[in-house]
């Protein structure tokens, strides 16, 4: 994964997911503007252990904290080599939140989560609703709390987003999701859906 070609491939798949699913399906109505302005930082991590990833997460949190939102509003830390197991990934999120607190960034930055096998509590692995938080690779999404608050305040019915997203992915289904993320008609990776 350390070869430039592999990193470029991973980044291309994440961009395809962002453009076609997150923005294209309007799963996040706030993503289009920052993406169009070039304010989304995508980092493909070479971390091979959770400890290495936590260290890199700290570096990215500090960078986001110290960089004006006009330059970087949000960061996607993609980590294809570690935490491929969803349960291990989910447990790691406690460490990520503890790091935010240790860096005194509570209320300033937050970490959201996406994973190829994302599963909401009280759902089965093959429930189509899980697609709303599925991505081609495990991703830690670093967000500015102020940006989230502004976006939510500007959106007429923020509570309706979840219900609309579920309706969207139900209508699309797993086959539609796979087709959406295919590259030129060829599946990029079977991990896009169950």
Cα separation of 166 and 130, whole Å? 8
Backbone angles phi, psi at 66, to 5 degrees: -95, 0
Cα separation of 60 and 192, whole Å? 26
The two three-digit tokens of residue 90, written as one number:
């989910």
Q: Can you give the length of the chain in residues? A: 194
pTM for this one? 0.90
The number of CA neighbours under 13 Å toward the Cβ of 176 is 10
**pLDDT, tens only, 81-94:** 999 999 999 999 99
Is 18 within 8 Å of 40 (Cβ atoms)? yes
Q: Where are the alpha helices (DSSP H) in 69-126?
A: 86-102
The two three-digit tokens of residue 148, written as one number:
């989230």
- pLDDT tens sequence for the chain (194 residues): 445 569 999 999 999 999 999 999 999 988 999 999 999 999 999 999 999 999 999 999 999 999 999 999 999 999 999 999 999 999 999 999 999 999 999 999 999 999 999 999 999 999 999 999 999 999 999 999 999 898 888 877 877 898 999 999 999 999 999 999 997 643 334 333 33
């Amino acid at each position: 994964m350390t070869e430039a070609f592999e990193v470029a491939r991973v980044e291309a798949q994440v961009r395809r997911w962002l453009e076609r699913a997150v923005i294209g399906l309007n799963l996040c109505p706030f993503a289009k503007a920052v993406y169009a302005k070039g304010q989304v930082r995508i980092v493909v991590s070479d971390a091979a252990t959770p400890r290495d990833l936590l260290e890199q997460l700290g570096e990215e949190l500090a960078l986001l904290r110290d960089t004006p939102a006009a330059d970087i509003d949000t960061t996607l830390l993609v980590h294809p080599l570690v935490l491929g197991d969803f349960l291990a990934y989910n447990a790691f999120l406690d460490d990520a939140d503890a790091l935010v607190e240790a860096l005194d960034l509570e209320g300033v930055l937050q970490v959201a989560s996406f994973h190829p096998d994302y599963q909401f509590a009280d759902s089965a692995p093959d429930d189509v609703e899980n697609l709303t938080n599925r991505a081609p690779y495990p991703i830690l999404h670093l967000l500015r709390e102020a940006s989230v608050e502004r976006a939510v305040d500007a959106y007429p019915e923020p509570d309706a987003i979840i219900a609309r997203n579920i309706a969207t992915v139900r209508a699309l289904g797993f086959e539609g999701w796979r087709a959406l993320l295919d590259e030129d008609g060829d599946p990029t990776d079977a991990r896009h859906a169950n």
